[in-house]
Amino acid sequence: LPCNVIVYEKGGRTVLSFIRPAVAMQMIDNAELQKVSEEIEEKLKKAFDAVN
């Protein structure tokens, strides 16, 4: 799955971003893969919230 995390600095602040796996996988007709991508996205969101 595309789970790249992008870290950059903007205006003296560190910015974190990522491509949402669930959105990226909507183009693929695979219900099981869609479910897994949603679970991964939730884990990424929790990780981002923990460092924010």
| Distance between CA atoms of residues 48 and 17, nearest Å | 9
Q: What residues make up the domain containing 47?
A: 5-51
CA 2 to CA 24: how far, in whole Å?
8
Q: Is the dihedral of CA 47, 39, 2, 17 positive or negative?
A: negative
Task: Spell out the long-range contacts of 2-10 with Cβ–Cβ below 8 A and sequence spacing 24 or more.
Answer: 3/40, 3/44, 5/44
Residue 37 predicted with pLDDT over 90:
yes
- The number of folded domains in the chain is 1
**Alpha-carbon span 16 to 25, nearest angstrom:** 21
Tens of pLDDT, residues 11-29: 999 999 998 998 888 888 9
Mean pLDDT of the chain: 90
Per cent of the chain over pLDDT 90 is 60
